[in-house]
């Protein structure tokens, strides 16, 4: 399957899955309050933080070594099985610790908003979610875009069905979201394991575990920092503004994360291509990588600006007035993912060079800035302050990653000026978007203005020579080869 076809499969499946979730919001937001979503967000956060830290980054090792062991698949099966089993043993051991510490965790971190039972259930949910991610990564490595898509869409449909079932039959509130998420993840995990039997064996090797840890151990402090980075704002918002503000912020983040669908769709294909194609001394490899990366960057930026412009309409269409403040979070949060374009390239550079240790100073700097900005901005600007802190620290994080990426694995002829220009353009049109939110005019007129702005963006891209017929044709000729 070609580069563009694989990207399309990932993109369409993610769009459908997101569409199922977002399409249900007009119903769910009439039964569930921002506080209910606040509980759910904190529930998910705790489980993911714990298991992300305890996983030791073994999923990254299994992904990376798949390409190195393509010709020795039996050896890879042993390595992969070893990592799966070791993660399971670690999760079981620390599960007992979480059980005994759950009263203290509930009181100290969540002010009792997440009770003891939910703490334990959250840990279990985090373990299941981690293994889902682990096996999805294996599908990406194998290029099984169709399998990935089927399970992604199926998970979204099952989750929504279960949530509606618990709401209408049992009148559950936030527990409907929790049970729906937990059960759907468990069912999908069973399917993922069954269809991944070709990469699992009954053999185990401590040597392969040590090899995997040697590759992934630099990611351990990075993961700890990254998980704190992604959870600190929500915990702080809960302490200062309560569950209601957490819920509103999470909705802004959810809509802002629509751009992550696009990022992931391209990254899922770009990663395997880069790992199997990149050679420092091959000018053709370098040019092909640059062509694909810039295509990704332009596409993501154009879609991001479109979402930023229509943030107000999205929130008003899919939610109730209690959630309207989240519209001001969306444009800023989109930049969090927009800056992730840099990370798509940098992470693959570091992984190819096996220099993941460079992520440690990057993560330390990013977390320090994130915590400082949250402490300063949340008391003043609330959920908007949390979004600004997230976006700014993401920019610094990805710029630092890119620096280490090019130091470890240079790409000839790469020119960063075009990336700088598209970010500058995105910032300008974000300012326009906020201005339109503040203007009280007929909604139809706003939509016409925004459509004309998008047309002007395409024109600007054309005038700057980012888009033209010959480049697009050349790019697609290259893409058809892969």
pLDDT, tens only, 36-60: 888 888 888 888 888 888 888 888 8
The pLDDT, as a whole number, for residue 473 is 59
pLDDT of residue 121: 94
Provide the pLDDT for residue 482. 46
- Residues in the chain with pLDDT values less than 70: 1-8, 218-230, 265, 268, 276-285, 356, 463-482
d(CA 461, CA 12): 25
Separation CA 227–CA 223 (nearest Å)? 6
What pLDDT does residue 472 have?
Answer: 57
Residue 435 has a pLDDT of 87
Distance CA 303, CA 122 (A): 34
Nearest to 27 by CA among 318, 455, 383: 318
Nearest alpha carbon to residue 377 among 364, 390, 365: 390
Token representation of residue 14: 């993610």
> The tokens 């990376």 sit on which residue?
64
DSSP calls for 301-351: HHHHHHHHHTHHHHHHHHS-GGGGGGGGTHHHHHHHHHTHHHHHHHHHHHH
pLDDT score for 261: 73
Strands (E), 328-447: none
pLDDT for position 260:
78
Kindly report the number of other CB atoms within 10 A of residue 16's CB atom: 16
Whether residue 111 contacts residue 239, with contact meaning beta carbons closer than 8 Å, is answered with yes
Nearest to 201 by CA among 81, 110, 300: 81
Q: What is the reported pTM?
A: 0.73
What pLDDT does 3 receive?
54
Burial 360-372 (b: 16+ CB within 10 A, else e): bebbebbbebbbe
| pLDDT, position 72 | 83
Find out whether 406 and 348 touch, Cβ atoms under 8 Å: no
39: its two tokens: 């509980």
């Amino acid at each position: 399957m070609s580069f563009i076809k694989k990207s399309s499969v990932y993109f369409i499946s993610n769009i459908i899955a997101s569409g199922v979730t977002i399409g249900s919001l007009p119903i769910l937001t009439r039964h569930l309050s921002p506080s209910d979503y606040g509980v759910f967000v904190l529930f998910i956060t705790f489980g993911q933080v714990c298991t992300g830290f305890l996983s030791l980054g073994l999923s990254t090792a299994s992904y990376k070594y798949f390409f190195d062991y393509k010709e020795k698949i039996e050896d890879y099966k042993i390595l992969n099985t070893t990592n799966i089993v070791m993660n399971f043993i670690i999760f079981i051991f620390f599960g007992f610790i979480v059980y005994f510490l759950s009263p203290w965790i509930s009181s100290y971190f969540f002010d009792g908003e997440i009770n003891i039972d939910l703490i334990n259930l959250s840990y279990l949910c985090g373990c299941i979610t981690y293994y889902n991610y682990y096996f999805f990564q294996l599908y990406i490595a194998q290029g099984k875009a169709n399998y990935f898509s089927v399970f992604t869409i199926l998970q979204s449909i099952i989750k929504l069905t279960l949530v509606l079932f618990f709401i209408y039959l049992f009148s559950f509130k936030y527990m409907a979201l929790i049970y729906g998420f937990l059960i759907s993840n468990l069912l999908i995990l069973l399917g993922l394991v069954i269809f991944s039997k070709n990469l699992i064996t009954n053999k185990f090797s401590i040597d392969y575990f040590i090899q995997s840890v040697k590759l992934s151990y630099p990611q351990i402090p990075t993961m700890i920092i990254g998980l704190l980075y992604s959870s600190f704002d929500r915990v702080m918002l809960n302490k200062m503004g309560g569950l209601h503000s957490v819920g509103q912020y999470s909705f802004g983040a959810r809509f802002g994360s629509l751009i992550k669908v696009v990022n992931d769709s391209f990254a899922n294909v770009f990663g395997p291509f880069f790992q199997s194609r990149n050679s420092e001394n091959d000018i053709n490899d370098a040019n092909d990588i640059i062509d694909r990366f810039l295509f990704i960057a332009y596409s993501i930026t154009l879609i991001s600006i479109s979402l930023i412009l229509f943030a107000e309409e999205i929130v008003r269409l899919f939610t109730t007035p209690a959630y309207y403040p989240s519209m001001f979070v969306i444009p800023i949060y989109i930049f969090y993912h927009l800056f992730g374009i840099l990370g798509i390239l940098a992470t693959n550079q570091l992984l190819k060079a096996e220099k993941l240790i460079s992520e440690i100073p990057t993560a330390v700097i990013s977390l320090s800035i994130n915590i400082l900005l949250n402490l300063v901005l949340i008391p003043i600007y609330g959920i908007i302050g949390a979004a600004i802190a997230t976006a700014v620290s993401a920019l610094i994080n990805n710029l630092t990653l890119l620096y280490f990426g090019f130091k470890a694995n240079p790409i000839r002829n790469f020119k960063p000026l075009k990336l700088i220009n598209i970010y500058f353009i995105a910032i300008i049109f974000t300012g326009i978007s906020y201005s339109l939110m503040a203007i009280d005019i007929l909604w139809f007129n706003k939509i016409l203005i925004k459509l004309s702005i998008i047309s002007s963006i395409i024109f600007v891209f054309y005038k700057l020579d980012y888009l033209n017929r010959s480049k697009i044709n050349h790019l697609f000729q290259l893409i058809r080869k892969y």
